Amino acid sequence: MTVTTLLVAKDSSFLETAREAFQREGIKVHHCRTSESAFEFYSSNAFDAVIIQLSPAAGLSFELSRKIRERSLTPVIILSNDPSLTEELQAFAAGASDYIGLPCNVLAITARLITHATHTAGLVHAWSAKEDARLSAGPITIDVYARQVTVNGVEVELTRTEFDLLAVLASRPRHVVTRQEILERVWDNHWDSDEHTLDTHVSRLRSKIARSGGPRVAHAVRGVGYRLFANTNTTLNADGFEI
């Protein structure tokens, strides 16, 4: 897979180092210095990922991330010269796929860039044969490109991880998706990809769908993984496991 990325940065030294490292890995790089010019360029071209180095006007960078997320699945990686927990939370709230504190080895950034781009391409590929990339499962409708989920026509607000989890299960609604596959496709084997984290996100996803009037989703198959819905002839215990 050839990855094409848009790099938004003002730091000339970092820009040159990053471009050389990306190009050595076969990544095609386009560069913009401002959020405004970047969004205009992004809107008229196709990119597999966008990397944003936060400028003093960080709000504009977050706004760029939000605009991109509103219209596509394109991974957005935000780099910060002065990383903090508050800023990291702001980045993810703006739809970022990753947040990296600088200084950081450019090879590590490159590896994460390729991982995010490959992960997203896999999700899109699973839906590519479906008209408008939409799937209806009972009262649930999932639009992958718009990253929207509705239950009985009413939109449900999901986090990036909850959406990806639901999309992975919905891509094979009649099959059990193993825990390992879910971890690999949703978290890309990053630091937070453990089974406790998976179970926590499943619980939150179920709760949001149920509160919106939808069916119980992500039924657990003990020792294997999760299925979008339970089989109609299957009995479940109180924890949602088949018995």
Tell me the residue ranges of DSSP E strands in the chain.
Answer: 4-8, 28-32, 49-53, 76-80, 98-101, 134-137, 140-143, 148-151, 154-156, 177-178, 219-221, 225-227
Residue with tokens 């992960």: 119
DSSP 95: T
d(CA 5, CA 2): 10
Question: Which residues contact residue 203 at a Cβ distance below 8 angstroms, ignoring those fewer than 6 apart?
Answer: none
Are domains 4-126 and 130-227 of this chain identical in fold? no
pLDDT at position 242, please?
41
pLDDT at position 209, please?
93
Backbone angles phi, psi at 123, to 5 degrees: -65, -45
Note down pLDDT in tens along the chain; length 243 residues: 578 888 998 888 888 888 888 888 888 888 888 888 888 888 888 788 899 988 765 567 888 888 887 777 788 899 988 888 888 888 888 888 889 888 888 888 888 888 877 766 655 544 444 444 677 778 898 887 778 899 998 999 988 888 888 988 887 777 888 888 888 778 764 444 567 788 889 999 999 999 999 999 999 988 888 989 876 444 444 444 443
Give the CATH architecture of domain 130-227: Orthogonal Bundle (1.10)
pLDDT at position 233, please?
45
pLDDT at position 1, please?
56
Residue with tokens 């094409």: 4
Tokens of 97: 């796929």
Handedness of CA 88, 181, 166, 51 (dihedral sign): positive
Using DSSP bridges, classify how beta strands 177-178 and 219-221 pair: parallel, antiparallel or unpaired. unpaired
pLDDT at position 202, please?
92
Amino acid identity, position 102 = L
Tokens of 155: 């939109």
3-state secondary structure of 219: strand
d(CA 153, CA 134): 13
What's the Cα-to-Cα distance from 236 to each of 6, 130, 178, 216, rounded to whole Å?
Answer: 47, 31, 18, 11
pLDDT at position 203, please?
93
**Residue 217 CB: number of other CB atoms within 10 A?**
24
Q: Which CATH superfamily is domain 4-126 in?
A: Response regulator (3.40.50.2300)
The reported pTM is 0.53
pLDDT at position 19, please?
83
pLDDT at position 188, please?
61
pLDDT at position 121, please?
62
Domain locations in the chain as residue ranges: 4-126, 130-227
pLDDT at position 238, please?
44
Average pLDDT of the residues of the chain = 79
pLDDT at position 195, please?
74
